[in-house]
Amino acid sequence: MTKKHDKSSLDKKEYNKTLRALQIELVKLQNHIIKHNDKILIIFEGRDAGGKDGTIKRIVEYLSPREIRTVALGAPSDRDMSSWYFQRYTAHLPAASEMVLFNRSWYNRAGVERVMGFCTDAQYHEFLETVPSYEEMLIRSGIKLLKYYLDISKDEQKKRLDEREHDPLKQWKISPIDKSAQKYWDEYSVARNIMFARTHHINAPWTIVRADDKPCARINVIKDMLSRLDYAGKHDALILPDVDIVFSYAESYLKNGMIAE
């Protein structure tokens, strides 16, 4: 039986206090990135309503928009469809002194495109074969790459999608794909599991985030990011993530309930 994601005891006051302290650390990180001409790329993937938007919002809230960019690409154009698959993503990669956060990425091909039939079998298998080499090239060019998958349970997804339907401030998030998320839950699980097995490699591993509890997930993603990146004046005690919330992918977690079925 799948274990439910544990709920955090983090109350609102504690959450706000911790978030502010972590956002101060993020400012230190950005100063370091600018000073040392670092190139940071962070990918956020996960099911619909997994919490990517809210997590990214808290990361970038107090950072300079000149050196940090969020990339959330829409449906590919006819030109995109006729181009090398990675081409439109490559155009948004970080230059020196920049940090770029992808709100969904080239892994669309391993998820929604595969499940919804937006790509051919040949395109899908070519992607799985080539993406590790593509990421290896990015890393060899000096880009620091982090890949996060925000994992939620089926019940939590249904709750969040229902909330979108009734919240006038979240209407922009509703898409036809959302309506298929629950229907194709099992197909998305299979696609996700294949994606992990084929694209989790030593230089660009997947980090899983148990995200049923939004505040807890946000806090622990930021902690994990900060713990993995170099910057001066790091508050080591503050940035230790909860290893039951954020952890490196392993196949065994698909079987013991750490990753939602």
d(CA 129, CA 224): 28
d(CA 159, CA 151): 14
d(CA 246, CA 221): 7
d(CA 119, CA 195): 15
Residue 169's alpha-carbon distances to 59, 71, 179, 186, 217, in angstroms, are 21, 21, 18, 29, 22
Percent of the chain at pLDDT above 70?
Answer: 97
d(CA 90, CA 84): 10
Q: At what angle do helices 214-228 and 12-36 cross, to 10 degrees?
A: 30
CA-angle at 17, arms to 218 and 147, nearest 5°: 20
CATH 3.40.50.620 fits 12-254, yes or no: no
Q: Which residues share a beta bridge with 207?
A: 148, 248
pLDDT at 30: 98
Of 55, 62, 64, 84, nearest in space to 72 by CA: 55
Q: At 6, is the secondary structure helix, strand, or coil?
A: coil
Whether the Cβ atoms of residue 128 and residue 199 lie closer than 8 Å to each other: yes
pLDDT at 157: 97
Whether the Cβ atoms of residue 8 and residue 216 lie closer than 8 Å to each other: yes
Percent of the chain at pLDDT above 90?
Answer: 90
Q: Which residues share a beta bridge with 151?
A: 210
Residue at token pair 């599991």: 193
Name the pTM for this structure: 0.95
Domain ranges of the chain: 12-254
pLDDT in tens, 33-45: 999 999 999 999 9
- Supply the DSSP symbol for 8: P
Quote the tokens at residue 84. Answer: 């090398």
pLDDT in tens, 149-184: 999 999 999 999 999 988 888 887 788 888 899 999
CA-angle at 156, arms to 150 and 161, nearest 5°: 95
Quote the tokens at residue 149. Answer: 């998958």
